[in-house]
Amino acid sequence: MIFDTIVAKTTANGMSAINLIRVSGSDSVAIVNQIFKGPNLNKQKSHTISYGHIHNNEEIIDEVLISIFKAPKSFTAEDVVEISCHGGNFIANEIIKLLIANGSRLAENGEFTKRAYLNKRLDLTEAESIMDMVNAKNMNQLKIANAQLRGDVYNLVESLQNQILEIVANIEVNIDYPEYDDALEITNEIIIPKTEELIVKIDKILREAQTGQIIRDGIKTVIVGKPNVGKSSLLNTLLKEDKAIVTDVSGTTRDLIEAELNLDGVILKLIDTAGIRVTDDIVERIGINKTKKAISEADLILLVLDQSEILTDMDKDLLSLTKDKPRILIGNKMDLGSKLNVIDEHVINISAKNNVGIDRLSSEVKKLFIDEKLLTSDYTLVSNTRHIGKLEEVKLALNQALKAAKDEMPIDMVEIDLRKAWTSLGEITGEFSVDDLISNLFSKFCLGK
């Protein structure tokens, strides 16, 4: 595909030693050459670097290095020129202005990656993984992003698509070429076990995706409890910093306090909340409402109780408010004794103030959310919410195909649902056109000879 030539600064704004400006499109080399004093760029080979200066006909703007990547061996699969200039926004902006004046246009957000996709250099999952790589904050996140960039999700989806295609192709051949007796006559009896097998596979991928998603996006963890029980102290101890104000006055925390914690490669998105109680204070009441909303949106609740007191009505309310959520009960202030009366749920005893028992809490969180086997394996983890949503659609369509087959519906009715499953899979990678399906389909058979 031929597109116009686009330009953007690829490094972040602000002060730095170097900036990188990327130009992509069939005119990129010629455009840069017009504002470059140095070797003639039009004559340079691909994957070479040239030294020289960018000028505006009157002044030298900067001393630069120019890297040339000729199509298709470039990030976008088009001719790409990268200008390494000096840092600071002024120089980069001047160079970009010159590039625009000479025939390129400012790229939109993500447009280089979009071109890589449109030029079939990357599939959608690989394109999406680039953002995940940039955002990665630990090794596990990076591992997932790398696997996706390597094409692991693509391969997984393609293999599922092929299994469906085989059935669909066979059905089509049965219908269109009844005289072609080399092709297996597909019946509902054959479709049922094949579809069941696919559903089992997708279920497994979806189960593993939960871990993938947690590694990618973190666990939204809300610390709740009655006032003064030590919620903010727990936040601070977990973070190893004095993030939240701690006092012995009930109602110290009024607003939500958010922080991120890396727990051995698993991100906890921690939220400290206002202690819940009945109050006339308007600010505190708003805080308490926010706490309730945070509870409803949480992946995990850390419900803090006070070991030094017996269970109060407020504790009981909180126990019932959070009963349908994944939660961990924490008995804080264990240094002050254990008066907490029986709860028939496991309570982890800690002292937030004295940093005791925090390891036990960490391992409980991991036990609840992380399948250790998955963390250490190289298994492809589907982790992107969009991919998971599409896989749910695939599962639904396959279940409909299975039901139709079991109800002994005509085979072309079953095929409709199978095609739907195939298309939803294709939407994950961006390869879902019916034309592709048809040409794939017939390439599997040596028909028309």
Ligand X SMILES: Nc1nc2c(ncn2[C@@H]2O[C@H](COP(=O)(O)OP(=O)(O)OP(=O)(O)O)[C@@H](O)[C@H]2O)c(=O)[nH]1
- For binding to ligand X (CB under 6 A), which residues are involved? 225, 227-233, 246-248, 250-253, 274-275, 332-333, 335-336, 351-354
Among Mg ion, ligand X, none, the one that 433 touches (CB under a kind-dependent 5 to 8 A) is: none
Distance in angstroms (rounded) separating the CA atoms of residues 187 and 125: 34
d(Cα 155, Cα 153) in Å, to the nearest integer? 5
Q: Which is nearer to ligand X, 134 or 249 (CB)?
A: 249
* 3 state DSSP class of 200: helix
Token pair listed for 199: 């559903």
Q: What is the DSSP string of 253-294?
A: --S-EEEEEEETTEEEEEEE-PPP-----HHHHHHHHHHHHH
Question: Which residues sit opposite 305 in a β-bridge?
Answer: 331
Q: How far is the CB of 389 from ligand X (least distance, A)?
A: 37
Out of Mg ion, ligand X, none, what residue 250 binds, judged by CB under 5 to 8 A for its kind, is: ligand X
Please state the closest distance from residue 235 (CB atom) to Mg ion, in A.
8
Q: Binding partner of residue 309 among Mg ion, ligand X, none, CB under 5 to 8 Å per kind?
A: none
Give me 310's structure tokens. 């017996």
Is residue 221 a contact point for Mg ion (CB under 5 A)? no
From ligand X, Mg ion, none, which one binds at residue 44 (CB under 5 to 8 Å depending on kind)?
none
Residue 232 in contact with Mg ion, rule: CB under 5 A: yes
Residue 105 vs 353, nearer CB to ligand X: 353
Q: Is 332 one of the binding residues for Mg ion (CB under 5 A)? A: no
Smallest gap from Cβ 302 to ligand X, in A, equals 11
Smallest gap from Cβ 266 to ligand X, in A, equals: 24
Angle at 357 between CA 315 and CA 234, to 5 degrees: 55
- List Cβ neighbours of 176 (8 Å cut-off, separation of 6 or more): none
**DSSP letters of 9-29?**
E-SPSS--SEEEEEEESTTHH
Region from 107-115, 155-163, 251-259, 321-329 binding Mg ion, contact rule CB under 5 A? 251-259
Gap between the Cα atoms of 213 and 382, Å rounded: 7
Q: Among residues 61 and 229, whose Cβ is nearest to Mg ion?
A: 229
Nearer to ligand X, 195 or 351 (CB): 351
Q: Which residues bind Mg ion (CB under 5 A)?
A: 231-232, 252-253
